[in-house]
Structure 1
Amino acid sequence: MNKKMGYRWRLRDLMADQQMFQTSNLVPLLAERGIVLSREQVYRLVTTAPQRLSMDVLVALCDILACTPNDLIQPEPVNQQIRKTAGAQAEPTPIASRRSVIRKPGKQ
């Protein structure tokens, strides 16, 4: 049986540990490290788990929050919902995850 893994994105938790409660607090801190993202991009980065993340952004976040990638990304098994049908055996239905893409301004 295959075990599908997902992860929990802990950026918001680590920001709160540092008394950073507004996503816009990260914009100038990232810019100091050469990462220029709009307020909207930073909001999405904080509030949704990214499917793709540049190493530059990851390293900048780790520097800002004095943490490691292991602190930001917590692996966990993906839950499955069981679909029940009358007279048939239940079969698992995977829960779909949402994808997000973070791009540097000016790059398509």
Structure 2
Amino acid sequence: MQWNLRMRAAERGIWKSAEMRRRLAAAGLEISAGKMSGWWAGTPPTIRLEELDVICSILECTPSDLMTPEPEKVDARRPRQAEAINSENENGPRVAPRFGKPRSEPPL
């Protein structure tokens, strides 16, 4: 996901992180300077839903306006089918669970 807080803030005339932080505080959300700096820099945030609600309220947007999916990054993380088959052959057979024979009971 790409985090677009700065772009959405600019669309509302908020050009500095300090101004955004003041507006969040006025809405009841106190954010540390470090956390705000990370959000403003575009670092994908760790964010609570309550925080997201306040941000969306201030910027008059939806969560989907703040986040843009990047499916190509997801695809890049998946192993290619041929690579997965080759690594399986090199590492031996896949381990599969055995059903039918339960573990023994512990001693009393």
- Normalising by structure 1, what TM-score? 0.62
Match of 2:44 among 45, 49, 53: 49
Report whether the alignment pairs 1:14 with 2:14: no
Q: 1:80 aligns with which of 52, 71, 76?
A: 76
Residues 17-76 of structure 1 show CA distances to partners (whole Å, capped at 9, x for unaligned) of: 1121111111111112221112222111121111x2101110011001000011011111
The letter for the 2-side match of 1:40 is G
Q: Give the aligned CA root-mean-square deviation in angstroms.
A: 2.1
TM-score, with normalisation over the residues of structure 2? 0.62
Counting matched residue pairs gives: 77
CA distance, structure 2, for counterparts of residue 41 and residue 59 of structure 1 = 17
Q: Which contiguous aligned blocks of 4+ residues in structure 1 show a shift greater than 2 angstroms?
A: none
Cα distance in 2 for partners of 1:33, 1:10 equals: 20
* Distance in structure 1 (CA, Å) of the matches to 2:34 and 2:20: 11
37, 40, 56: which is aligned to 2:34? 40
Distance 1:54 1:40 in 2: 16
Instruction: Tell me if 1:71 matches 2:70.
Output: no
Percentage identity across aligned positions?
31
Larger proportion of helix: 2
Structure number with greater Rg is: 2
SS at match of 2:69: strand
> Does the residue aligned with 1:80 lie in a helix, a strand or coil?
helix
Unaligned runs of 5+ in 1: 1-6, 82-90, 92-108
